[in-house]
Amino acid sequence: MNIINNGRSGSMGEIDCLGEMCPVPVMKLQAVLQAIRRGEPYLLITDHSCTLTNIKEFCKSHGLFCETEEVMNGVWEITVSANK
């Protein structure tokens, strides 16, 4: 599934979605939804702009907070958490 770190022991989990198109990034985020709701933030990395919209919609529909940053041209990091 390419979850680099599962977010245990107080660190942020990381989901590598480089090269993967929707709906795969949303499905990977869905797989860790319960961990996020327990307070474990996740960082999703993507290189497809369509993923930004889909992840934002997913977060909104599940009451999650997400913040995006383009860390280099065409690569985004999306931080997803239960609280702001």
Q: Where are the domains of the chain?
A: 3-81
Would you give per-residue pLDDT tens digits along the chain (84 residues)?
A: 455 555 544 589 999 999 999 999 999 999 999 999 999 999 999 999 999 999 999 999 999 999 999 999 999 999 999 976
19 in helix, strand or coil? coil
- The domain at 3-81 falls in which architecture? 2-Layer Sandwich (3.30)
Strand ranges, E, within 1-84: 3-5, 13-17, 42-46, 65-72, 75-81
Residue 10 has a pLDDT of: 59
- Torsion (CA) 76, 12, 41, 16 in degrees, nearest 10: 40
Rounded to whole angstroms, the Cα distance separating 32 from 54 reads 16
Residue 3 has a pLDDT of: 53
